[in-house]
Amino acid sequence: QVQLVESGGGSVQAGGSLRLSCVASGNAGLRRCMGWFHQAPGKEREGVATINVYSGTTYAESVKGRFTASEDRAKNTLYLQMNSLKPDDSGMYYCAAGSARWNGGSWDCPLSMDYWGKGTLVTISS
């Protein structure tokens, strides 16, 4: 099993920055993939950034150049540095973890992760 606890959410003005943290515990073999997901009010949850231990980090187009995901495996902590924040970035941010799947040519992260934190709220005012 894996446990995930997010922190770092808050309220900032547009153009500001926040850094989210996610402390992970449990079976490291079950969290070869780590990611951040965003759910805006009234909308579906969507991926923001995924770190695949085998192939690196991928980002949603909407956050490229503004958000940076990183991981300190020694501290079992995942980070999301969010810069140039926009009101559309408001909502709940969830940390997630999952096992990579072998697709015959590479280890891929699942679209829907296996383990989820409870989320941290980000509010961006215009």
Count other Cβ atoms within 10 Å, centred on residue 40: 15
Tokens of 10: 């808050």
- Tell me: the pLDDT tens digits for 1-54? 999 999 999 999 999 999 999 999 998 888 899 999 999 999 999 999 999 999
Compute φ and ψ for 16, nearest 5 degrees: -80, -175
Return d(Cα 59, Cα 124) in angstroms, integer.
20
- Tell me: the pLDDT tens digits for 54-98? 999 999 999 999 999 999 989 999 999 999 999 999 999 999 999
